[in-house]
Amino acid sequence: MTETPASPPDLTLEIDGPIAWIVANNPDRMNAYTADMWAKIPVHVRAAEASPDVRVIILRGTGTRAFCAGADISEFESARTGDRAAEYDRLNHEAFSALLSAHKPIIAMIHGFCLGGGLGIAACADLRLADHKAQFAIPAAKLGLGYNPRWVPPLLALAPAAFIKEMLFTGRRFSAEEAERIGLVNRLVETDTLEISVRSLASEIASNAPLTVRAAKLTIDELVRHPENPDTRELDAAVQACFESADYVEGRRAFLEKRKPAFAGR
């Protein structure tokens, strides 16, 4: 019997109504990201942002063994040494920046291993749901890598500095329970119900007024990233746009008519 060859590593975008799924497909290496996969993150985020139907983006890995085990170490000799290391870092940074600058909410659906760059990806999401088998680590110290300082702020926005130091100093794996306790994940869910829970959360967000959700995301991100000098003019404009929107009219009418509102995002 001839075995079916494994599919090459890939990062795909699947749009299902108001939900866009960005899916890492490299199961033989626990969904580790190749350079090509890193390069596709900004492309897929832009496509999801451009779609008028999409209201929530979900990041996940194929299967239930791993969300992402980080960068594909098999490429390091050819793509992450000498002068080429800077180019690889650029791909990483552009991927993280695309996730952090997205206007639409992003949820990380974390099955199993969430390591290295995989944890960096998850930290750039707005919300993180994980199963009880999840494990979290940044093993840079065990590989002799320097962890780029540009990728640390998203981690510090989730957990106290002392825990991020422990993670970077030791490279050890944190259990799902530890991750929830220190703030790396929003909640833990059983493995067989994780996708259902994530879909339910995404659908709940998608049913709300998109401009209101966008304004809330923009406000929280700006206040967290620039607490001493937030761009309040931009935040005020986002809030004002909600009050001037057709969705605000629809929300008021639906409340008075005791029905569920049908928001259009305008």
Average of per-residue pLDDT across 143-152: 87
Query: SS3 for 113?
Result: strand
- Which tokens in the block code for residue 117? 């760059």
State the pLDDT at residue 3.
39
Tokens standing for residue 234 = 């931009």
Q: Is 207 helix (H, G, I), strand (E, B) or coil?
A: coil
Here the tokens at position 240 are 């004002």
Taking the C-alpha atoms of residue 202 and residue 210, their distance in angstroms, rounded to an integer, is 12
Domain ranges of the chain: 10-205, 208-256
- List, for residues 204-228, the tens digit of each pLDDT value: 999 999 999 999 999 999 999 999 9
Q: What is the pLDDT of residue 212?
A: 97
Concatenating the DSSP letter of every residue in 53-82 gives T--EEEEEESSSSEEE-SB-GGGHHHHSST
**CATH code for the structural domain at 10-205:** 3.90.226.10
**Mean pLDDT score across all residues of the chain:** 92
pTM above 0.75, yes or no: yes
**Tens digit of pLDDT for each residue in 4-15?**
446 889 999 999
